[in-house]
A and B are shown apart, each in its own frame.
Chain A
Amino acid sequence: MGVRDRMTEKLQAAFAPARLEVIDESARHAGHAGARPEGETHFRVRIVAEAFRGTSRIERHRMINAALADEIAGGVHALAIEAGVPEAGG
């Protein structure tokens, strides 16, 4: 399983998100420090989950970093995070 799929599974399991996108942006960082020729180094997570309601930005990032600790320790060089909560009555 690729890194992106593994990250998606872990985030699904941890937060049961209403919306989730894990985007591999490695190609945009090719040649940059931390990039590897095989990619899978730079990711963006867009996640909307009830689990984040009432939490600060730092807390959301910490929750996501904790869920993806293995990936971050194992070669994911950069993780951009956009985390929100579902709009009421949407």
Chain B
Amino acid sequence: MGAIMGIEQFIENELKSNDVVLFMKGTPQFPQCGFSGQVVQILDYVGVPYKGINILENDELRQGIKDYSNWPTIPQLYVKGEFVGGCDIVREMFQANELQPFFKEKGVPVREQAAG
């Protein structure tokens, strides 16, 4: 990284290089917060590839991501660089069967669900 990269630039780089990014507490394999864990479960169920970024490893990022989105809580889901929401919003979209169509609309591949 050479010179110290600003946190905003770090966030923008991640959003540019990954279609789906989840800023979370812990990792997808080991979430350290129930709200982050719920979003991980939903994304895994939908079958969408995503990058999980653990904000607990970096205090600057932990605050920086809240400033970036003007959103006070973690987790935060981004799709194609756009902030989608936190745990409640992702869960509501999932329960309303809006999440899969949303990913498709954005051009992100999802696993086809069994009919029925």
Contact = CB atoms under 8 A, between A and B. Distances in A.
Interface of A: 29, 32-34, 57-58, 61-62, 65, 69, 72-73, 78-82
A83 to B, nearest CB: 9
Contacts of B35: 78
A65 B25 contact: no
Size band of the B side of the interface?
10 to 19
A78 B32 contact: no
12 contacts: A33-B33, A57-B85, A57-B89, A57-B92, A58-B89, A61-B71, A61-B85, A61-B86, A61-B89, A72-B72, A78-B35, A78-B73
A65 B92 contact: no
A78 to B, nearest CB: 7
Interface string B17-54: 00000000100000011110000000000000000000
Contacts, number: 36
A76 to B, nearest CB: 9
Interface string B51-86: 000000000000000000011110000000001111
B8 interface: no
A69 B86 CA distance: 17
